[in-house]
Amino acid sequence: MVETIQWTTQGVVMLDQTRLPRETVFVTCRDYREVAQAIRGMVIRGAPAIGVAAAMGMALGAAGADPASLDAEMDHAAETLAATRPTAVNLFWAIERMKELYGRLRGRPVEEIRAALEAEAREMYRQDIAINQAMGRHGAGLVPDGKTVLTHCNAGALATAGFGTALGVIRAAVAAGKKIDVFAGETRPFLQGARLTAWELMQDGIPTTLITDNMAGHFLKSGRIGCVIVGADRIAGNGDVANKIGTYSVAVLARENGVPFYVAAPISTLDLSLASGDAIPIEQRPAAEVTHLFGVAVAPEGVAVENPAFDVTPARYVSAIVTERGVARAPYSESLRKLVVG
């Protein structure tokens, strides 16, 4: 398995996801500004992976700072990383966790601070993989045997430190001996399904069929799909789920056809401070993502474009939310809080 992100002595090394599946190219970020640029440019994407990248970016911030201006540099690193993408809450969660650690260490020898921040970022990387494996254990039982699983976007190893959230559940179901295959929606405009999910699952030998996003309804109606599993970028306190644009449509179509719709996400994706999904900020991305593909124009010059990168699926369409601490079901305002508080 190719590594999505790694801490190395040269810097943070990321697999460039804008160039998959045609090229397997790695990018080395030597400071937090380069990490921020990689997140904004979607060299790395997926809420948990963005969280790990931000943590490593904060560690780079300490590593590269003049000891005399460490406070200011850490503030600036946090601000720069936080300004990259607004929707995935894991970004802010990871920055906050690193800021809190820095706050506790402030005044200690700079080498000790640097080592502690690096260790914390590497620990968050390791924890993310363990969290995904736990999600797989909790979620595998939900996947019907002998049917097709539909997923949208990429909530796989490439969207995390490894193993994946939605694809982690699928991997765990396969490992448990279930005979399943996957339908991957291509996920326009950025084609994470076509470029990343199909690539990842083919590497694992899990049978995968690529469809365009607008085919999801047709196949949900056909009776072939046993369940839908997707990831999440932010989950509000009431269970509303922000995820890649198109997720809401799949959720409605799943319910209309009696197919369970599952969300797999770590506790760090929960934002219980928000009463509902209406309060989740939705990133608007450049028009060129819609009008051009690999530099080729697919629409008339000058056409107006909307490009919201995410949508919000109301909790009533969500059959269950799989986390590393267990499976939450409606009413989510109770079940999610219970998982967080314990």
- Binding footprint of its own copies on the chain (CB under 8 A): 21-22, 152, 183, 185-189, 191, 194-195, 198-199, 202, 207-219, 221, 245-246, 248-249, 252-253, 256, 290-291, 293-294, 296-300, 302-308, 311
Between 66 and 306, name the residue whose CB sits nearer to its own copies.
Answer: 306
Between 48 and 185, name the residue whose CB sits nearer to its own copies.
Answer: 185
Residue type, 190: F
Between 167 and 339, name the residue whose CB sits nearer to its own copies.
Answer: 167
User: Least distance in Å: CB of 283 to its own copies?
Assistant: 13
Closest CA to 255 of 212, 316, 320, 184: 316
**CB distance 191 to 298 below 8 Å:** no
Separation of alpha carbons 45 and 65, rounded Å: 26
Q: Which residues pair with 321 in a beta bridge?
A: 263, 328
User: Least distance in Å: CB of 176 to its own copies?
Assistant: 23
User: Least distance in Å: CB of 212 to its own copies?
Assistant: 4
Crossing angle (nearest 10°) for helices 47-64 and 110-139: 170
Closest CA to 253 of 185, 181, 197: 185
The number of beta carbons lying within 10 Å of the beta carbon of residue 133 is 16
Tallying the residues shown for the chain, one arrives at 342
* Active-site annotation holds for 233: yes
User: Least distance in Å: CB of 304 to its own copies?
Assistant: 4
Token duo for residue 212: 């365009």
Catalytic residue chosen out of the listed positions 233, 240, 271, 311: 233
Between 93 and 310, name the residue whose CB sits nearer to its own copies.
Answer: 310
Catalytic residues: 233
